[in-house]
Amino acid sequence: MSAIPASVRSGRAVAPAPAPRAAARAESWTLRLVAFSALGLFAGAHWAGIVRPGAGGDLLGLFLVALTGGLLVAAAQDALAARALRILAFVAIGLAAVALILAVAGVPVWYLRPDRWGTLSVNLGNAIGTLPALRMPYRGSDPWVRAVLVSGGGLLLLIGAVLALGPRPRTFGAALCLGVVYVVAIIEHRPTHPYLDGALFALLLGAMLWGDRLTGREAPAAVAIAVLAIFGSAFVAPHLDSAQPWVDYEALAESLQGGKTTTFTWNHSYGPLDWPRDGLELARVRARGSLYLKTADLEDFDGREWRQAKGVLGDGEDTQFSRRHPNWTQTIHVDVKGLKSRQFLVAGTTTFVSHSSKDVAQATPGTFQATGKPLRRGDSYDATVYVPDPSEVEMHSAGTEYPPYIYRQLGLGLPAQPGVGAIDVRFAPWGSGAANVARAASGFAVIDAQQALSASPYGREYALAQELRNASTDPYDYVKKVMARVQRDARYTESPPSPGRLEPLDAFLFRDHAGYCQHFAGATALLLRMGGVPARVVAGFSPGARDGATHVIRDLDAHSWVEVYFPHIGWKTFDPTPGDSPARSQQTDVLSVSASGTTAQGRAAPSSDRLSDPKAGGEAAVASSGGGSRTWLVVLGGAVLAVVLAAAVLSLLRRRRLARSGDPDLEELRIALHRSGRPLVPDLTLAKVERMLAGSDGASGYVASLRVARYGAGGPPPTPRQRRALRRELAAGLGLGGRIRALWALPPRTSELVEALRTGRRRSYN
């Protein structure tokens, strides 16, 4: 029988000495810390290259935040015995680490305040939605996209640190996080020495996975095996590196990209504009100053409409460059968002497009188009543009020495006349002393231009042009007189009267005096050419709203204007559309959305100056399939409960924000107008809003109640019925999406629900 130890016989249990075990644990943790730091810094350095210019300093800061967060989580898990305290500490450390990661990545600190979380989540969500189709490395100007890309690496580093450094390490999970950081980065931007780079990553990854598990005898053998494997892979890898990808991840990313896209048709039509106004962001432009962004020059007038010219060589001359104003030339950067277009967004006369994610070709002199697939969300490029901004003195003294290539901007097509057919007229340049020339489009001999113009539907336009020209001292004076005549007694409307038997521009100038940007720009260019001043219609977008150093272009900014040529200066932009039109009302906006959803100036604009139906673009398919799990009812119930709780919290926060504004009802109206797609204009008053809603007694009564309460002798607040009427008016014509946006813009109150229940109880069921 074996001997019984004395310690057991005496009843005392003797534990093994703790020092060796504690020392081994400390040594293992130190090895994991070193291995995590080495692999984390290596992977983070590669992740910093997915943006241009690189974010090496930011990623170093993010690594320090992640490492500190992992150490704090490990300390809390080891020091706190109570489960509730540990969970509370984990949540606090996680929130603080995420806030620091966002701040280091470039998110302004004030967005991290709880009252700004709504705006923060919207901006981050919009940026995340653009990621699948971005071209990497990202050279764009959107600060939110850059912040999302950089902070994504920081979050992965944080998760990896928490998994690797805790008392119960999850080394494989930590290595997976760091592997994602490295692999995604090298996919998006190829390293200079890919095979050497991959070999070093393999060594660091192996050290992290197995470094703390190898004993002294096992380590040399493991290193030898790793070296052999690395040399073998370095030999095989070049043979596997084919020209065609095994998986076309770019095509996959484009198929997964979310968000609505819009396609525009730029030729004029002069029909009513009745499409929904959703404020879709189309592009972001970084430029010096506010620029009109053109997509196409509409140089040909076919007797009814202005259209893009056919048969004009793209490499022809377009302008003269002023040597006295080198600042008129600049390079702009464009990030495409919700726009799908074959034409590039440029400005003035564009001389060069570079760093484009699509193949580029000249369309017409000064404009460019994609030769393969059209531009779409995630594309970006730089464009060198010449945009003259002369003073009035310079335009008055520009003279009339027009270059020969400008003469094509002095022609007009006239509708067919009996026995002759369609006629092309070329007007003599201002100051040349030459005669106008008319020819039949079918090839007949020269026709008397005066007689052809008088017999055409544009006879009184020509007479008006001669009258204004005779009263002008120079081409610039003539331009001012033409614009004043086009705008005289004219009103902006997106539902112009039908021209009937008249041509649309003739009806606009002499009968209806009502139209939108196509009418104003088309009539102006028509009169200018008839007076011998080279002019053309341009289609594209007004400058949009400023967001820091960039301009945000939305579908509300779609627009048409006029360019006029001045010798030795070039094409100068003129916009004859009234300043209260939607596309022009946003030109001086500063995009600064607060957490409450209103713009900094509290503006509202009713509608868009669009050139085509956005439905032509379509929407990317975003589908989610539900499985046949037996727990779907539980999931659905949990989702409904989460929505109810979120709605309650948002309602409480909304009430507090409105209460802090000083006038909750007025602030709520501003939020409702903004959220329903009506950007706020500087001079908007309650009386103007009331007139805008005059078609609905209930909606106008709601605004009238607010006006009387604020500026009158006081009165009762708006009734629930008036509130419902205003919500219906905000959603009018916008379909199901508009009704949802109206509910978000003006949420139902308890009083509305109570009144609805009372009405239901009083209802007769005959």
pLDDT tens digit string along 37-79? 888 888 888 888 888 778 888 888 888 888 888 888 888 877 7
pLDDT band at residue 752, thresholds of 50, 70 and 90? low
Strands 491-492 and 514-515: parallel
Query: What percentage of the chain reaches a pLDDT higher than 90?
Result: 22
Which pLDDT score is estimated for 617? 35
Alpha helices in 621-685, H assignment, sequence order: 632-660, 664-675
* Top-confidence residue, 19 or 697: 697
Which pLDDT score is estimated for 17? 42
When mean pLDDT is compared across 309-323, 423-437, 558-572, 609-623, the lowest value belongs to 609-623
* Residues shown for the chain: 766
Which pLDDT score is estimated for 533? 95
235 has pLDDT over 80: no
Distance spanning both ends of the chain, measured CA to CA = 101
Of 240, 271, 290, the one marking the end of a domain is 240
Number of structural domains in the chain: 2
Is residue 734 one of the residues assigned to a domain? yes
pLDDT tens digit string along 184-218? 888 777 777 777 777 788 778 877 777 666 665 66
Highest mean pLDDT among 244-248, 479-483, 737-741: 479-483
pLDDT tens digit string along 495-546? 889 999 999 999 999 999 999 999 999 999 999 999 999 999 999 998 888 7
23 has pLDDT over 70: no
- What long-range pairs does 95-100 form, CB within 8 A, spacing at least 24? 96/69, 97/65, 97/66, 97/68, 97/69, 97/158, 98/155, 98/158, 100/65
Of 224, 240, 256, the one marking the end of a domain is 240
pLDDT tens digit string along 253-301? 545 445 567 888 888 888 887 655 667 888 999 998 889 999 999 999 9
Is residue 28 one of the residues assigned to a domain? yes
Which pLDDT score is estimated for 343? 92
19 has pLDDT over 50: no
Which pLDDT score is estimated for 247? 58
- Smallest CA-to-CA distance from 350 within 153, 627, 571 is with 571
pLDDT band at residue 689, thresholds of 50, 70 and 90? confident
pLDDT band at residue 5, thresholds of 50, 70 and 90? very low
- What long-range pairs does 500-504 form, CB within 8 A, spacing at least 24? 502/457, 503/303, 503/304, 503/415, 503/457, 503/458, 504/270, 504/304, 504/305
Is residue 160 one of the residues assigned to a domain? yes
11 has pLDDT over 90: no
Q: Counting beta carbons within 10 angstroms of the beta carbon of residue 81, is it exposed (0 to 12), middle (13 to 18) or buried (19 or more)?
A: exposed
When mean pLDDT is compared across 18-32, 42-56, 322-336, 607-621, the lowest value belongs to 607-621
pLDDT tens digit string along 102-133? 988 888 888 888 888 888 888 888 788 777 65
Domain of residue 736 covers 642-762
Is residue 675 one of the residues assigned to a domain? yes
Highest mean pLDDT among 294-298, 615-619, 753-757: 294-298
659 has pLDDT over 70: no
455 has pLDDT over 60: yes
Is residue 386 one of the residues assigned to a domain? no
Of 240, 256, 271, the one marking the end of a domain is 240
Which pLDDT score is estimated for 79? 74
Is residue 181 one of the residues assigned to a domain? yes
Which pLDDT score is estimated for 214? 62
Is residue 294 one of the residues assigned to a domain? no
Peptide bond into 137 cis (omega under 30): yes
Query: What percentage of the chain reaches a pLDDT higher than 70?
Result: 70
264 three-state secondary structure: coil
Angle 313-319-322 (CA atoms, 0-180°, nearest 5)? 155
Produce one character per residue of 654-682: b if its CB has 16 or more CB atoms within 10 Å, e if not. beebbeeeeeeebbbbbbbbbbbbbbbbe
Is residue 337 one of the residues assigned to a domain? no
Which pLDDT score is estimated for 48? 85
